[in-house]
Amino acid sequence: MADILIRREGRAGRITLNRPGALNALTYEMCLAIDRALIDWASDARIALVLIDAVGERAFCAGGDIAEMYATGRRGDYAYGRRFWADEYRMNARIAEYAKPVVSFLQGFTMGGGVGVGCHGSHRIVGETAQVAMPECGIGLVPDVGGSFILATAPGRLGEYLGTTGARMGPADAILAGFADHFVPEAAWPALKTGLIATGDLAGLAAFLQTPPEGRLAALRPRIDALFAADTLAGIAGALDLDGSDFAAEARRALARAAPLSAACAVEMIHRLRGHATLRDALELEYRFTWRAMEQADFLEGIRAAIIDKDRTPRWRHAGPGAVPVEHVTGMLAPLGADTLNFGKD
């Protein structure tokens, strides 16, 4: 059975992720297929909008399929991963910049690579099971696939909190943080999709919108804004250590599970992007890190500990948040020169 289903139905171009047994993890081939479809449909007058969804109840897409990246990286071959990331990021940009509406339906886990597919379209719909997160720091990466841009535009210091701890967002929190637009109960999704496919008209969407169940981030905003206000990861960790609240203790435990270099770079990236950057700026900055991630950061060790050996005891390059020299952060985020991510590939 195909990992991804791409077809035209009525007035819609339809993209359905179809790996429910793997939580719809995104393969390189799936990335390329999505990109090709978007290019083809851009000039197809029969298609009024693009509808992206996924098979199964557990996940829209729980991340990228990184087994091949790990295997090639362990052999010292970094070219495959770099090519995957470059093509994936170009696809993410195409979704965000698409001239036709892109409507995504995000149930269950939407994480990592799933954010890149599902959270850059024009109409991002979450249901009651939505669990959206950017957990990359826990495997030695940084929030990527354009996720750093969403984090940098999130209210207050939510970006630093979500990006370094990998905290999961239910539907209300995903909308608050800018990862989604609308809440529609999942029982109503079939009817909504049927209408969109038949008409290609988004006017009917309004009748399906409801208020999501209450989240937790709105009430936590003042504390998050205070505790995650420092310019560096070390400063954030210090503020959490000094605060006596249960929330601070929970956040500090989550921070301790992240690769220190990744979390320090995530904070720096969000600060650089906040207030003026575009999605393309964010993707280019992310690519500086991921281009170097296998050779100079903790990605291979993070995958080993989480996916391969599953011992959950990664041996990070740095001992903790306060042990990451600033030059290591600036080095990971330095311009790539001739290897800079470009968006000219069609």
Q: Are residues 189 and 99 in the same domain?
A: yes
Under a CB-based contact definition with an 8 Å cutoff, are residues 280 and 324 in contact?
no
Q: Are residues 299 and 158 in the same domain?
A: yes
Under a CB-based contact definition with an 8 Å cutoff, are residues 204 and 182 in contact?
no
pLDDT of residue 345: 52
| Residues annotated catalytic, as ranges | 64, 113, 136, 144
The CATH number covering residue 16 comes to: 3.90.226.10
pLDDT of residue 344: 79
Under a CB-based contact definition with an 8 Å cutoff, are residues 87 and 28 in contact?
yes
pLDDT of residue 67: 84
Distances (CA, A) of 209 to 29, 126, 201, 216: 34, 10, 15, 21
**Of the residues 214, 244, 272, which one is the last residue of a structural domain?**
214
Q: Left if phi > 0, otherwise alpha if psi is -120 to 50, otherwise beta: which for 44?
A: beta
Q: Are residues 67 and 206 in the same domain?
A: yes
**Of the residues 153, 182, 214, which one is the last residue of a structural domain?**
214
**DSSP three-state, residue 298:** coil
Q: Are residues 63 and 197 in the same domain?
A: yes
Q: Are residues 86 and 235 in the same domain?
A: no
CA-to-CA distance for 137 and 256, rounded, in angstroms? 10
Under a CB-based contact definition with an 8 Å cutoff, are residues 266 and 138 in contact?
no
The position carrying tokens 């709105």 is 218
Nearest Cα neighbor of 138 from 299, 331, 310, 317 is 299
Under a CB-based contact definition with an 8 Å cutoff, are residues 146 and 115 in contact?
yes
Please, what is the angle between helix 217-227 and helix 246-256, to 10°? 70
The residue range of the domain holding 84 is 1-133+171-214
Alpha helices in the chain (DSSP H): 28-42, 67-74, 79-97, 113-118, 147-153, 158-165, 171-177, 189-199, 217-227, 233-242, 246-256, 260-273, 279-296, 299-303, 326-332
Q: Are residues 201 and 111 in the same domain?
A: yes
| CB-count exposure of residue 299 (10 Å: 0-12, 13-18, 19+) | buried
pLDDT of residue 189: 98
Q: How many domains does the chain have?
A: 2
Q: Are residues 321 and 186 in the same domain?
A: no
pLDDT of residue 238: 97
Q: Are residues 105 and 116 in the same domain?
A: yes
Q: Are residues 207 and 295 in the same domain?
A: no
Q: Are residues 268 and 326 in the same domain?
A: yes
Under a CB-based contact definition with an 8 Å cutoff, are residues 60 and 52 in contact?
no
Q: Are residues 196 and 261 in the same domain?
A: no
pLDDT of residue 216: 97
Q: Are residues 149 and 6 in the same domain?
A: no
pLDDT in tens, 242-299: 998 999 999 999 999 999 999 999 999 999 999 988 999 999 999 999 999 999 999 9
CA-to-CA distance for 263 and 324, rounded, in angstroms? 10
CA-to-CA distance for 55 and 76, rounded, in angstroms? 35
Encoding tokens for residue 275?
């207030």
Block mean pLDDT (10 aa), the chain, length 346? 95 98 96 98 98 97 89 93 97 98 98 97 98 97 98 98 98 98 98 98 96 97 97 97 95 97 98 94 98 96 92 94 96 98 76
For residues 107-146, b (16+ Cβ closer than 10 Å) or e, as one string? bbbbbbbbbbbbbbbbbbbbbebbbbbbbbbbbbbbbbbb
